[in-house]
Amino acid sequence: MKVVELDFPEVKLITPQVFQDNRGFFQESFNYKRMKEHGLDFQFVQDNHSFSVEKGTIRALHFQTHPMQQSKLVRVVKGSVLDVVVDIRKESKNFGRFITVELSDQNHHQILIPKGFAHGFCTLEANCHVIYKVDEYYSPTHNQGIIWNDPTINILWPTKNPVLSKQDEKWPTLREVIK
């Protein structure tokens, strides 16, 4: 397993070892002991699976508020996405900035997003399956989001006409939600 710090040092890009042969491939997608050896000690409690039919589907920018904040370990098992992480820690020098990483079934990359960041993605092809682990249970009363096209964040999404949920169309801006 290879672990790389991204522009936000708290966010990690993880590439598991992949064993390929004539049958296909095998990989350990998660190993607590190996993660802990890299200083990544997260107790995941829930797995989520997102399926997006259309290319250009945006699911963003989600997070949960205190005390139900979530860390996430995200990977793509079919297709490819542009994964987006926004720093929403008000005291951070990176507050309001974002980073992007392409995750796909071909590159096997995973992204580890700790508490204090909003997360979203845009599908780069049809029929994408995204799986992610979280270290806190889903809580509807703590569920929050930021509008996908917030002009102060200015994410360069790979689509001009995204497929969005009704909820994702109505989130407030970062400045409205983090005061």
- Positions marked catalytic: 62, 132
One-letter amino acid of 31: N
H-helix or E-strand spanning residue 123:
strand 117-123
What are the Cα distances from residue 154, in Å, to 60, 97, 99, 103? 13, 9, 11, 21
**Residues 84, 58, 104, 92: what is their CA dihedral angle, to the nearest 10 degrees?**
10
For residues 3 and 15, what is the distance between their CA atoms, to the nearest angstrom?
A: 7
What tokens does 21 get? 């042969």
The 3-state DSSP class for residue 79 equals coil
Q: What are phi and psi of 102, to 5 degrees?
A: -85, 125
What tokens does 113 get? 């997003």
